[in-house]
Structure 1
Amino acid sequence: MKKKILKTTALLSTIAFAGVLVACSNASQNSDSGSKELTVYVEEQYKPFIEEAAKTFEKESGTKVSIKTGDQLTGLDNLSLDNQSGEVVDVMMAPYDRIGSLGNDGQLAEVSLDEGSKADDTTKKLVTAADGNIYGAPAVIETLVLYYNKDLLPEAPKTFEEVEKLAEDPAYNFEGEAGKNTAFLADWVNFYYAYGLLSGNGGYVFGKDGTDAKDIGLANDGSIKGLEYAKTWYEKWPKGMQDQKGAANLIESQFQDKKTAAVIDGPWKATAFKDAGLNYGVATIPSLPGGSNYEAFAGGKAWVIPVASKNIDGAQEFLNFLTSTDQQKAFYDKNHEVPANTEARKYAVDSKDELANAVVKQFDSAQPMPSISEMSTVWDPAATMLFEAVSGKKAPKAATDDAVKLIKDSIDQKFGE
């Protein structure tokens, strides 16, 4: 009886071991099969580039690349559900300001930055989360610049003192509001646009390079100084500039109607100005009173890998390929967006593209936007702070103190232990 039991046990062990071998073999085959396929999700505007890139990558790696198109932000908003369902794509794009929070929330896979990506310190910070892990491969850099009408200005102003003199010209007086002038306009009731004023004077959002949410610098002397300067402009500008929803449209229409000589805006506005037939130039934003730089947020986009990708190794290989100098040059040629790769960035500058040159120069003094999740609590209180300060509803110090208190309370409520 004992021998029968031993024989039966041995037989069952053999069968079980064989089953393990079959399972391992199947897993290996599935992994092997998965490693030869990738799905990439991009906005329609990037499809021509990604199609060409995919063809080259397929020849070099043997990996077939499928392409899906759709709205970038919608894709990111759906990422949690897609990761859970297992129907997620393998590679997609994300703005830098979404990467840290998505990484911290477990929606993105960690990536490594290939030496060939030629990423600089600023772009590395933009894809690094508070935990120190990297969740994206930098693709594009963006920051605010100065657009000016070449028919109205022979050259771009280099200091805000020059801009102030420009605003004394009655040719730019605003019809219907006595004493108001639109020679220069900027959407400084929008925190993204106004941040350079605050940071250029020593203000900041979070301490330790944007990673310490307990240290909020929006009520320090530098922030208050920036708000006080902004307020002097709102005393010159039409009432509509205080409208947080309508100010952007007012700025665009005034500039396109040649009633404004210079505006602060992003590289995404260039197409609209070109389509409007404007003879415009692009330059760095003038230096602030006192000589400091206008330190706008550094922004842009990176390639990311959803955490539930079925082919993370292949996706990483594709990221290395997309961020190489040759592919970053090709991306610039197709889309005219400034590459993150520093070698390809030089290629864009050498092409004599005025917009690319301005973005690259301005990016040198730009500050990486905090990538920690607590940044989500900043936008609304900061917008209220700006409106209350520039409209005169509150003194700048009171407006900043109230905003910081509200941000701290929101952080405690959402992220407190």
Structure 2
Amino acid sequence: MSRLLTQIPGPRSQELTARRKGAVAAGVGSTLPVYIDHAEDGLLVDVDGNRLIDLGSGIAVTGVGNPAPRVAAGVHEQIDRFSHTCFMVTPYEGYVEVCERLNALTPGTHEKRSVLFNSGAEAVENAVKIARHVTGRAAVVVFDHAYHGRTNLTMALTAKAMPYKHRFGPFAPEVYRVPMSYPFRDGLGGPEAAARAFDVIEKQVGASDVACVVIEPVQGEGGFIAPAPGFLPALSAWCRERGVLLVADEIQTGFCRTGTWFACEHEGVVPDLVTTAKGMAGGLPLAGVTGRAEVLDAVHPGGLGGTYGGNPVACAAALGAIDTMTELDLNAAARRIEAFVLPRLRAAVGADGDVRGRGAMLAVEFAAQTPEVAARVAAACHASGVVVLTCGTYGNVLRLLPPLVIPDDLLAEGVAVLEKAITEGVGR
């Protein structure tokens, strides 16, 4: 169970914060300035001995546990053998095996190929590169409230200015933004919201100039927005009919997070390209682009890659993580988390907002489009030793990303703290 020995942050964390100010760039933020010494499933233990309930998983990264036994064992075994060769110089089996797993797990029965990178932003950027190369077109369509990364191109794809884009331009050209299906705010059904988006594309871009449409099946940083039923299938059909590649950014939604291996599966959507990262390697940096064989193989040799992409230690971690997901049936675990958490949060929030989500990717959007209530609720949780995150274009969304292996008693304790914080935070 959780345990607080000091105020949050404690004296040792405060000392480290003082050291940080003289060493770490001020532009790097932290949600909760407690410094972690070690972790257990569902718990973060800080340098002051405080045991914090983790409902964030390092932003959906440590779903399989922290540390996960199979991940740790794979890392130790691999690091004792070798740490790096660069797959583009002298390859190794782990890279091939991770690609085989991605090809088998991602949606669709068609023949696939994969390529590995270091981060989600790098994966998205390379998916766009591939789409432009294969189609010979330049335009990229993205959506309101999207978040795709912090590189120059992915900043252009990202919708939110502060803190991600402010004074970092100019950005990559030929990126076009269209309305997203946002049931809580627009009240539109999926087909109607899709038609609205298509109208903007046809008028402002022209379908014949679009290389790809990039979408998070459930938006992450933008507010955990799940489009209305029918939106994603309509988008997939529109792309297929016009020779536009559909890129599913499954970086936050993938690997059992929403109760299926990938969020596209909820409506049977089969993308042309899928980007992955976060939960794939149990905390080590690894990302991928997986897609149709004829698309990936169309890029000339040497056109894809990177010095550290598919590092052997990260690949070993990914194989251990995927084995864990399979053996523990973490898709079912995510669905159990949803079944326990959603009714309780809906009762706590009532008419003061929207409670939504799939699997262990859950959110509360407070009705006011201002950050004050969400910030107040998050601060109360933090003071009580429960790590939660905020998000949303307006900062008014509280998001939960618990480890998929979190023990039932810890989950119940964390949700009880959150319920109390919500009731007090909205002034009831």
> Does the TM-score normalized on the shorter chain lie above 0.5?
no
Name the structure with the higher helix share. 1
Please, what TM-score do these two structures have when normalized by structure 1? 0.25
Q: Based on CA coordinates, which of the two structures has the bigger radius of gyration? A: 1
